[in-house]
Amino acid sequence: MAAPKGTIALEEAVVNPDDLDFLADVASMYAPGASATDSSKHHALTQKLADIHDERLRQMDAEGVEYMLLSITAPGCQGVTDPARAQSLATKSNDWLAAEVARNPARFGALASLSMHSGAEAAAELQRAVRDLGMFGALLNNYQSVGADGRGKRFYDTPDYHVFWETVQELDVPVYMHPSYPTSGDLNSPESQYGPRTHLLGAAVQFHLDLSFHLYALASSGIFDLYPRVQVVAGHLGEGIPFNLWRANHWYNKPVKRATRPSKEDYGYYFKHNISITTSGFYSTQGLKFCIGEIGVDRCMYSIDYPYDTIKEAQDWWKGLDLPEDQKVAVARQNAIRLFKLPLEL
């Protein structure tokens, strides 16, 4: 049954309670006190992630959230260094989540999990997820971790991933770029910048530092010139990039950079044509207003980041937000419906 028109939330995490092995490497970081052996199955946060149709939906009804796009929580496939295991996790996760969404498609949709060890395999699984399972795009948890020691990283701005971005453009679905923790192998290596500074890990600092690098790399790589209809979404008010866009453009447009840069345009151009942002976990009125002024209201969308932040906190902020009504409706729901082609009335 459809809900009254309300907010649409796009970065909302879930987990299959029968498939938690991928969390073992980061269990102690995202769920303190958890052990790698049980992957925090009985931890309160894991139980919130596993719940879709009960307490989550009850809170959505109580607070005025009309619809959620669900995705498997970080690190997902990006934290699995073995290619075969990562591909298996993607397939199983997508099948499970599609079945859960089918129980209540008026309130929930899904973003696909993808192993990014191979651009071609990622493209094939995205095609299956969109065409066969009815998903509305994909969510990637930053770079793909690789190597036996977990210290390798594959970013998606290289020619190896052109086949993937070509498929994204062909399917006309967005890719949500999401942060994640480093692998334990990366964290424990002598070269790790975070190893002796674990207090920096997570959403306060490390998430936006790591993912903003990847977003800058994508924007400057020429990917959006080759595939100009590709659409990428970044949460947490664009991982801080809109607040640095003037300076980034200023230096990227200097003659020495223009003569050698891979992209035709500057960062600001791509944030107005190819990259959208959401308010997930970033309930700052002044921050959102700044972003609207910097990249345009059509590039800004609402999100919560549940269960890492609460539905009530996000909705209380949103209900009291003093934006012009047309902007508020656009950010709350209309932009998301158009970008993700959601089956909801504008």
Helix, strand, or coil (residue 64): coil
Sheet holding 108-110, edge to edge: 7-14, 65-72, 108-110
Question: In sequence order, which residues have a C-beta less than 8 Å from that of residue 78 and are 6 or more positions away?
Answer: 116, 140, 141, 142, 143, 144, 145, 180
Q: Which helix (H) or strand (E) holds 212?
A: helix 206-220
Structure tokens at 127: 């095609």
Strands of the chain, DSSP E: 7-14, 65-72, 108-110, 138-141, 144-146, 152-154, 175-178, 232-234, 275-278, 300-301
Distance CA 222, CA 209 (A): 22
Structure tokens at 189: 């290596």
Distance CA 262, CA 300 (A): 27
Say if residues 303 and 312 touch (Cβ distance below 8 Å). no
Distance CA 315, CA 326 (A): 18
User: Rounded to whole angstroms, what are the CA distances from 271 to 217, 251, 281?
Assistant: 13, 16, 20
The letter for the amino acid at 94 is N
Catalytic residue among 18, 305, 309, 316: 305
305 belongs to the catalytic site: yes
Catalytic residues: 305
